[in-house]
Homo-oligomer: A and B are copies of this chain.
Amino acid sequence: MSILVVGSVAYDGIETPFGKRDRILGGSATYLSITSSYFSDDVNLVGVVGNDFAESDIEILRKRGINLDGLKIDNSGKTFFWAGKYHFDLNSRDTLDTQLNVFETFQPEIPANLRKSDYVCLGNIAPALQSMVLDQVDNPKLVICDTMNFWIEGAREDLIKTLERVDVLIINDSEARELSGEPNLVKAAAIIRDMGPDTLIIKKGEHGALLFTGNEIFSAPAFPVLDIFDPTGAGDTFMGGFVGWLANSDDLSPENMRRAVIYGSVMASFCVEKIGPERLIDLAEDAVRVRYEAFKELSEIPGHA
């Protein structure tokens, strides 16, 4: 099944206690498409970059088999740039610089040949732009959406409209609490699912994730990573693994949604092992399967002897 990925393509400046890059490939659509390319050979990226976007970075995406027909090169300016510095425990960070550049006027245009995409993956961009994408696609099989506190606070009405058209929403615990106005996550999930998404995933960082689908709740563990190098992109990577697995298996049963959540967690656990998307660029496909099994072992509750 085909995957349409819409989001930001960026350069990031990243500083963690363990390393530093002044300028490395980033953005939600980048992480989403690279990650889902491990599961599907029909990944299509829609986004915008500026006149400074390096041919070598195009090459990174191309090598992963990602179709770039929808990647617009806007020569009027530079690529979206973000820089941040993580604190010692990696749980918080300061934004040092944000230059929207060509992303400021980005209006997603879905090329005609991508309008029949099966799995539509809306990265974390303004909800009005997410709706604009949905206006252009023709009856997708599944719409998966990310958002953040910035939009929950600043574009709530737009977001509510988008959510009515979304099948799977993936957000973190603080976003779930803010969106629902309810601290208990089980109750928050019910409120958010009433807004539209049949399925909700609440990411809890180092504590794993909760999946609410059908009548069930699934609690996914986080992988106990010994050395977290850089959390940048981990959330997008989770989403990319989730969507990639679902699109490849094309099975929306609660059981298979669980597998997808674990594949998301697997890919996120790799992402944080190196800086930026470095670890994701040439991962052995075998490693993905091996870590899935490690997740299974990690949380296996034995039956009674």
Contact = CB atoms under 8 A, between A and B. Distances in A.
Given A185-B224, A186-B226, A224-B217, A301 B296 contact: yes
Contact of A299 (B185, B218, B225, B249): B218
A217 B297 CA distance: 9
Nearest to A186: B224
A188 to B, nearest CB: 11
A104 interface: no
Contact of A296 (B184, B208, B210, B303): B303
Contacts of A298: 217-219
Interface in A201-224: 204, 207-208, 210, 216-222, 224
A295 B299 contact: no
Contact of A207 (B208, B249, B256, B301): B208
A258 B207 contact: no
Given A301-B258, A301-B299, A221 B224 contact: no
Q: How large is the interface on A (under 10, 10 to 19, 20 to 34, 35 or more residues)?
A: 35 or more
Contacts of A301: 220, 258-259, 262, 295-296, 299-300
A258 B302 contact: yes
A224 B202 CA distance: 13
Contacts of A226: 184, 186-187
Protomer copies: 2
Interface string A133-163: 0000000000000000000000000000000
Contacts of A218: 298-300
Nearest to A90: B183
A226 B88 CA distance: 34
A211 to B, nearest CB: 10
B221 A302 contact: no
A164 interface: no
Given A208-B221, A262-B301, A296-B301, 12 more contacts: A88-B183, A184-B226, A187-B226, A210-B224, A216-B297, A218-B298, A219-B221, A220-B299, A220-B301, A256-B305, A258-B300, A296-B303
11 contacts: A184-B227, A186-B225, A204-B207, A208-B221, A219-B298, A251-B305, A256-B302, A256-B305, A259-B301, A259-B302, A299-B299
